[in-house]
Structure 1
Amino acid sequence: MRMNQQQRLNRVLELISERGNVSIADVSETLAVSTATARRDLNTLADQRLVTRTHGGASALGSGYELPLQYKIARQADAKLAIARAVEALIDPGSTVGMNGGTTVTEVARALGRSERMRSIAGEPGVTIVTNALNIAFESSVRENIKIVVTGGVPRRQSYELIGPLVSASLRDFSLDVAVLGVDGLTAEFGATTLHEGEADASRHIAAVARRVVVAADQTKIGRSTFARIGSLETVDVLVTDAPLPARVAAQFDKASVDVVVAPPVR
């Protein structure tokens, strides 16, 4: 099926994220489009300051290149939906839930908003979400069964997450039942990691005021470590993912007392 421009731009960004750079010929061959179309797409992304245009192609903006949130949404979509449903099932009605940003956690917030178990009773919300993610706060604010509390902080354009010292100041007097965290990597050696140090710090503070920490991560994040550490594997209580872990990794997670929940596939 022929891709529209937005789908092509998504795919080009994924290629650059994976490889660091691409040529016009790479884009043309991979997407089965003309070199003129490939050139226009690279120029469009460069105009949006998402890539650096080079002679004959384009490259990532830096070694820690991160896809903007709006371009991540379609990736691993079924896995994210399955994980979100499994996380929702772990949360008791009436709970206070801390959330950082990212597409998987956004799907968890949506699952809570749709949940029949989380209905408002006698005017009380079915669940309270405390988040530093502006997109989650915006979407969830229209749900009658959800009470939204937004931390302070300065927004990051890449992820819509608030970061900085105001995040910890906002959370200082809170006590959360559970923290649901999205990550960019999770390993036994380095624990939960993300690409940006400010987001890692904010996630760490959300986890610190929660009685239970749930990491929601698809299989592409397991066994991968990225730049900024959120916390060791021992700080994680539950991992919800979309596929069984390899035996060696499963043994490491078991040793760290991490309960692993494999989400049933979406049907």
Structure 2
Amino acid sequence: MHQQQRLNLVLELISERGNVAIADVSERLGVSTATARRDLNTLAEQRLVTRTHGGASALGSGYELPLQYKIARQADAKLAIARAVEAMIEPGATVGMNGGTTVTEAARALGRSERLASVGGEPSITIVTNALNIAFESSVRENIKIVVTGGVPRRQSYELIGPLVAASLRDFSLDIAVLGVDGLTAEFGATTLHEGEADASRHIAAVARRVVVAADQTKIGRSTFARICALDDIDVLVTDAPLAPRLTAQFEKANVQVVVAPPVRAVSAH
């Protein structure tokens, strides 16, 4: 295992638990205690964790991994959700997108889509986003016209936040908003970890005729710090597994259509 892979796994572990001991890292990664200690020291030097006696802890409550350090948790689920989102987008559509790994995969699916291929060198869809990584990746796709909101970027997510997001969206009208979330419940609706990102996502949703939340099953039934919108404001949830009966009833009551994405089928090599 390469060092960067180890660092990613250690960060995920600290994000989940809040703190870890050197022995925990050694056992989880199958490395020596000396290697585990060096990895924790490296992360502390990068100011991603706080070094403690015998281990390390997250920088604070509500700790959020920077996007570039996130490993592909639920990777197959995200790919399946991305394909289902792509199937919802019609040629000529204007699509609002916030940031995050699931929505990034959806943007990649749109860029690769043969159904949404460029005609005569002209873009077939427009993506309006506050996510710099999505804008950068999609800018090379001739079938996509990219519009980036104003705002100040967060290092953790590459998302633009602040009053310039709302100001740049004020005169837009979007066909569909595709939103990634950190949590989704009937009681609190769609939520995320950072209030600035919640505000930006809320403004994207406000100028869209249809709001789609793209979230794998690990996000369903949990709520995080900042609300994006109430459940009633969501039109469609695209996820990777059927909801529990109680949640299904709650989402039906809120008139939220639940789309369960077909699983990604691995292609075997011959």
Aligned to 1:237: 235
SS of the counterpart of 2:177? strand
SS of the counterpart of 1:173? coil
Deviation at 1:121, TM superposition (A): 2.0
> Quick check: 63-72 or 219-228, which moved more?
63-72
Aligned to 1:156: 154
Deviation at 1:126, TM superposition (A): 1.0
Any stretches of 5+ residues in structure 2 without a counterpart? Answer: 266-270
Q: How do 1:124-139 residues align onto structure 2 when only pairs under 5 Å count? A: 124-139=122-137
- Give the TM-score of the pair, scaled to structure 1: 0.98
| Separation in 2, partners of 1:48, 1:172 | 38
| Separation in 2, partners of 1:154, 1:131 | 13
Deviation at 1:124, TM superposition (A): 3.0
Give yes or no for contact 2:67–2:156 (8 Å, CA) kept in 1: yes
Give yes or no for the alignment of 1:212 onto 2:210.
Answer: yes
Cα RMSD after superposing both structures: 0.8
SS of the counterpart of 2:238? strand
| Separation in 1, partners of 2:69, 2:89 | 29
1:27 to 10, 25, 47: 25
Aligned to 1:58: 56
Deviation at 1:175, TM superposition (A): 0.0
2:106 to 96, 105, 108: 108
Aligned to 1:92: 90
Aligned to 2:268: none
Deviation at 1:73, TM superposition (A): 4.1
Aligned to 2:200: 202
> Quick check: 177-186 or 44-53, which moved more?
44-53
Aligned to 2:178: 180
Q: In the comparison of the two structures, how many residue pairs are matched?
A: 265
Amino acid of the residue matched to residue 29 of structure 1?
Answer: E
Deviation at 1:240, TM superposition (A): 0.3
Give yes or no for contact 1:238–1:259 (8 Å, CA) kept in 2: yes
- Give the TM-score of the pair, scaled to structure 2: 0.97
SS of the counterpart of 1:249? helix
SS of the counterpart of 1:119? coil
Amino acid of the residue matched to residue 239 of structure 1?
Answer: L
| Separation in 1, partners of 2:71, 2:130 | 19
Give yes or no for contact 1:73–1:103 (8 Å, CA) kept in 2: no
Give yes or no for contact 2:124–2:144 (8 Å, CA) kept in 1: yes
Deviation digits for residues 205-261 of structure 1 (CA, Å, limit 9, x no counterpart): 000000000000000000010000000001110000000101111110111000000
Deviation at 1:8, TM superposition (A): 1.1
Identity of aligned residues (%): 89
Deviation at 1:143, TM superposition (A): 0.3
Amino acid of the residue matched to residue 57 of structure 2?
Answer: S
Aligned to 2:2: 4
Give yes or no for the alignment of 1:14 onto 2:8.
Answer: no
Q: How do 1:118-129 residues align onto structure 2 when only pairs under 5 Å count? A: 118-129=116-127
**Distance change >3 Å, CA 157–CA 52, structure 1 → 2:** same
Amino acid of the residue matched to residue 46 of structure 1?
Answer: A
| Separation in 1, partners of 2:201, 2:35 | 40
> Quick check: 38-47 or 170-179, which moved more?
38-47
Aligned to 2:222: 224
| Separation in 1, partners of 2:256, 2:54 | 47
Deviation at 1:167, TM superposition (A): 0.1
Amino acid of the residue matched to residue 80 of structure 2?
Answer: A
| Separation in 1, partners of 2:263, 2:3 | 30
| Separation in 2, partners of 1:73, 1:33 | 19
